[in-house]
Structure formats: C-alpha cells, structure tokens
C-alpha cells in the first residue's frame, strides 16, 4: 500500500508541476507578451493543458486509487491511512472521476469554440450587439449541457457545473441561501435609496499613478505580502496567478481619476495571493496545496478588500499616511468623509464596479439566468430581455445597452457557466469566518487601528489557508464557525455598517 501511495503522490507532483508551467504561459500572456505572439502562445497553452488532462485521467491513477480503497462510497480510501493521505485520495478521486467522464474530443471542441467566442464577445461588447454573440453562445451552452449530462447529477443539471468551481456545493443550497440574501439586500438597498447620498466626488480628482502604485505597494507590505515570493504587475483586468509554491503573481490596474479602483483591486488580489502562499508546507507540490473552492478563495479577497480594507479601524491607521501621499487631493476631507466616500452605495450596471451591498444582487441575477439557460427554460435569444427584467427586479435599474447588461462579463464566452455564484458565496464565507475571528480576537478593531494587519493574516493562515483542499468547504466552514454556511453573518455585517454610514432607522 505504501508503494502505491508513493507512486500516486509522484504522479500528482508531476501534474502540479505541469499546471504551474501552464500558469507561467498564461500569466505572461496577460502581462508582458508581445501582441504578435498570441497565436503560437494559444497552441503552447493548449499543448500543456492537454498533457495535464491526459495525466489526470491516466488509467494508472484509476488503478492506484482503487487499490488504495478509494471509490464512490469511500472516496478517502483505506481508513488505516494517515488523515492527510486520505484527504489527498478524496481530492484525486474527485478529479479523476470527473475528468474521465469528459472525452478529449468534447474538451477540444469546447476549447476551440471558446477561443473563437472570446474574440466574438470582445467585438459584440464593443458594438453592444448581442445578436453577433448569440450563435456562438448557443454552441457553448449546448456543449456545456452535454458536459453536465456526462458528468452526472442528482437533482439539477446545474449541480454538475457548479461543482467544477465550488466542489460538493449543491444548487438547492445556493438557491436557499440566495433567496434569503436577495430579499434582505433588496430592502437594504431600498432603505439606502431613501437616505441622503454620500459624496465621493473628491476621489475622482487627479491621483498620479506612480504615487498610487507606491501607496498600494506600501499597504501590500503591511498586509504581510512577501515580495520574495511574488510580484505585483499591471493588466487590463486584475487577477492572481500561482506559478509555484513560492511564486504568486498579482496584477492590478490604475486610473488616475478613480482612486478606489487601483488600491482596492490591489488589496483584493493580495487577499487571493496570501491564501495561495499560506498552504501547509507539508502539502507542497501536491494537489492539497490548492484552494478548496472558488467561493472560499473569494472570501479571502473580499475579506481583505471590504471587511478589513473598507473599515474605519483600517483607515484610522492608514488615512493620515494617505493624506501625506496626496495632500492636495485630500485637503479638507477628514477621515469620516473619506470613510463614507469609499463605502458609497448606488445600484449600477457593471458588476465589477459595484459596491459591497449591491454586488451580490449582480451575482444572483446571473445565477437566476444561468439556471434557466442550463435547464432549457430560457432561450439564448431571449437573454437580453430576461437580463433587463431581472435588473429591474433586483437593482431597480434597466441597462440601456447590452454592453451595460448581458454582454458585460467575459465568463460565458470562455465557457465558465456555474462560476458566478462563487462570487457571492465568497461574501458569505468571509463574513462567517470574520464573525469567529472577532470572537477569538475581541480587540481586533483596536489592533487594526494601530495598523496591526498581521493579526488578521495570522488568524486566516491558521484557520483557513493552511488547510488547502484537505477539508471540503463545508467542513471548513463548520470547523471555523460550528455551523453550515448561511447569509445571516454577511447581512448583519452590512446592516451594522450601513446603518451608521447612511443613518438608517428601522433596519
């Protein structure tokens, strides 16, 4: 048994190395690669990805898993094995059984159609022309439904897709949690709409980009970011990419007339990056040194960006330093008005620019539509109208163009259907984790007010990061909070915060 286990671990190590090689190619493409390299690069990436798929589905892995006792009824294998090995078997069994169900031919067809679709989407969005994107989206949807049928599910076809991004999560659970979230968020947004709006005009003054970059890097360092194990670069859309156990790359973007965008993108991505650098050392080189789910990943970025990074204690420490960096732009604006400005709530069309109250409503909108598309209750050609209807219902506004509505996000063009819910789940995980952190560190706000960010990082490392994917998201949330995932903690956090900012009564 020991020999089988060692062989399985060495196969896994090889797969992880190849995945990181693919990540190097991807990262370079998004940051420094010259334009003319794009065609050959997509062949290079496809070649490495095909190798990864081939290795993950090699019959040898299936045989080793079986010999180690891992099967449908017992994914963790032989009960006599150490717990970390059993966790590895569970993750590898899950990956193997999923991937072997997808024939290479289908994977290739999906890869081809999505590479065409991305370019179509860019063009269609530019001209706000949904009809130009609809045929290729229909193809993607058909292939996605075909994949879901092959992957299998018990209740809802959407389960098979959701599971790719949020392993073991069920559609029924998301529906239940989102129903509660939606009802409460809509009423909170209504209450805010009735209150006096806060002023954030002064944050649209000219904030020179080199100074923004310098300040962002300073905050990054204060958060505990080790520049010996990563980099911060620029890209069109901020992202985080892991190139190795001690090589995590962050990107951000700056706009000289939108101070919030650059700094909060940097903090957000650093939240992702710190998670990637925090997996237990004993997991290094194994698939356990990966995030358990995209929802948990997003909980880390959104906790740093919003719960910590947009809090009064955080800025009690950092605002005097920010004013030193931008004395002219911030003169006459004291801490309370800065705090309100960075937390302004207003329903808007674009998800990535949304405030933390309306953000989850953007996600629920997409979830509702995806669910209908995947279950053939909504046709692709009716999508723009369905989007407008949902936007009116959830956000109280209707986009005038499809570029501001149904065409705004890249996800469907790259075949990522089932991904969106993880963004809102991240908010819920984050608030639920934070509730426990506050109970365990009663003077957290005082410490944040002194700039003691390592307190937060230390807690997250110990309770979240180090586990990697050795616990399921459900096990993780139970081990941290003693309960299953629910919307209440996030809703309570929002109500407490915005009651004060908008002087709301009766919520």
Supply the minimum distance, in Å, between the C-beta of residue 250 and Mg ion: 11
Cβ-based neighbours of 338, under 8 Å, separated by 6 or more: 315, 319, 322, 330
Give the residue with the Cβ less far from Mg ion, 156 or 360: 360
Please say which residue, 301 or 427, places its beta carbon nearer to Mg ion: 301
Other Cβ atoms within 10 Å of 431 Cβ, number: 23
Smallest gap from Cβ 191 to Mg ion, in A, equals 28
Only one of the segments 7-15, 113-121, 293-301, 304-312 lies at the binding site for Mg ion (rule: CB under 5 A); that segment is 293-301
As to burial, measured by CB atoms within 10 angstroms (0-12 exposed, 13-18 middle, 19+ buried), residue 70 is buried
Nearer to Mg ion, 301 or 481 (CB): 301
The reply on whether position 251 binds Mg ion by CB under 5 A is: no
The residue (of 301 and 368) whose beta carbon lies closer to Mg ion is: 301
Of these residues, 99, 269, 298, 390, which one is catalytic?
269
Spell out, one character per residue from 125 to 164, where the chain touches Mg ion: x when CB under 5 A holds, - when not: ----------------------------------------
269 included as an active-site residue = yes
Residues contacting 75, CB < 8 A, separation 6+? 89, 90, 93, 94
DSSP state letter for 387: H
Angle between helices 171-193 and 488-501 (to 10 degrees): 10
* CA quadruple 226, 459, 290, 365: dihedral, nearest 10: -110
Listed residue (314, 306, 310, 308) closest to 342, CA to CA: 310
The residue with its CB nearest to Mg ion is 301
- How far is C-alpha 500 from the chain's CA centre? 28
Which CB, 383 or 456, lies closer to Mg ion? 456
What is the rounded (10 degree) CA torsion for 425, 430, 431, 437? 150
CB nearer to Mg ion: give 224 or 426: 426
Q: How far is the CB of 298 from Mg ion (least distance, A)?
A: 5
CB of 363 to Mg ion, least distance (A): 12
> In terms of Cα–Cα distance, which of 202, 218, 200 is closest to 329?
202
* Residues that contact Mg ion, how many (by CB under 5 A): 1
Please choose, out of 36-44, 171-179, 199-207, 301-309, the segment that lies near Mg ion by the rule CB under 5 A. 301-309
**CB–CB of 448/456 below 8 Å?**
yes
CB of 355 to Mg ion, least distance (A): 16
Q: Pick one of 300, 301, 413, 435: the residue that binds Mg ion (CB under 5 A).
A: 301
Residues noted as catalytic? 269
Q: Site residues (CB under 5 A) for Mg ion?
A: 301
């Amino acid at each position: 048994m020991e020999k089988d286990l060692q062989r399985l671990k060495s196969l896994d190590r090889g797969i992880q190395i190849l995945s990181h090689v693919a990540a190097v190619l991807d990262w370079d493409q998004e940051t420094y690669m010259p334009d003319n390299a794009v065609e050959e690069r997509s062949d290079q990436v496809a070649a490495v990805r095909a190798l990864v798929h081939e290795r993950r589905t090699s019959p040898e892995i299936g045989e080793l898993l079986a010999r180690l006792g891992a099967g449908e009824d017992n994914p963790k294998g032989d009960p006599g094995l150490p717990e970390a090995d059993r966790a590895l078997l569970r993750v590898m069994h899950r990956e193997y059984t999923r991937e072997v169900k997808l024939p290479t031919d289908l994977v290739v067809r999906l890869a081809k159609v999505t590479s065409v679709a991305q370019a179509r989407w860019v063009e269609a969005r530019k001209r706000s022309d949904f009809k130009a994107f609809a045929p290729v989206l229909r193809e993607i949807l058909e292939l996605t439904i075909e994949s879901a049928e092959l992957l299998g599910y018990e209740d809802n076809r959407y389960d098979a897709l959701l599971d790719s991004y949020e392993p073991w999560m069920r559609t029924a659970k998301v529906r239940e949690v989102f129903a509660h979230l939606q009802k409460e968020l809509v009423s909170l947004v209504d209450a805010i709409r009735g209150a006096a709006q806060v002023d954030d005009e002064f944050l649209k003054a000219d904030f020179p980009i080199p100074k923004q970059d310098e300040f962002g890097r300073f905050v990054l360092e204060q958060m505990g970011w080790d520049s010996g194990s990563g980099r911060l670069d620029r890209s069109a859309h901020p992202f985080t990419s892991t190139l190795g156990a001690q090589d995590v790359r962050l990107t951000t973007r700056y706009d000289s007339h939108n101070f919030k965008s650059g700094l909060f993108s940097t903090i957000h991505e650093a939240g992702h990056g710190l998670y990637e650098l925090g997996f237990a050392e004993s997991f290094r080189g194994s698939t356990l040194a990966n995030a358990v789910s995209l929802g948990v990943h997003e909980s880390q970025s959104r906790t740093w960006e919003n719960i910590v990074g947009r809090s009064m204690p955080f800025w009690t420490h950092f605002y005097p330093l920010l004013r030193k960096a931008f004395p002219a732009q911030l003169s006459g604006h004291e801490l309370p008005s800065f705090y309100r400005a960075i937390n302004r709530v207003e329903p808007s069309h674009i998800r990535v620019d949304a405030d933390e109250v309306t953000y989850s409503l953007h996600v629920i909108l997409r979830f509702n539509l995806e669910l209908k598309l995947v279950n053939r209750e909504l046709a692709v050609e009716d999508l723009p109208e369905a989007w407008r209807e949902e936007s009116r219902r959830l956000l109280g506004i209707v986009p005038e163009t499809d570029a501001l509505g149904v065409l705004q996000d890249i996800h469907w063009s790259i075949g990522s259907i089932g991904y969106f819910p993880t963004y809102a789940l991240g908010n819920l995980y984050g608030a639920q984790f934070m509730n426990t952190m506050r109970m365990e560190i009663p003077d957290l706000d005082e410490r944040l007010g002194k700039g003691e960010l390592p307190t937060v990082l230390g807690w997250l490392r110990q309770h979240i990061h180090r586990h990697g994917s050795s616990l399921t998201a459900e096990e993780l949330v139970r081990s941290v909070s003693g309960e299953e995932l629910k919307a209440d903690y996030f809703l309570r956090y929002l109500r407490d915060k915005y009651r004060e900012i908008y002087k709301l009564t009766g919520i």
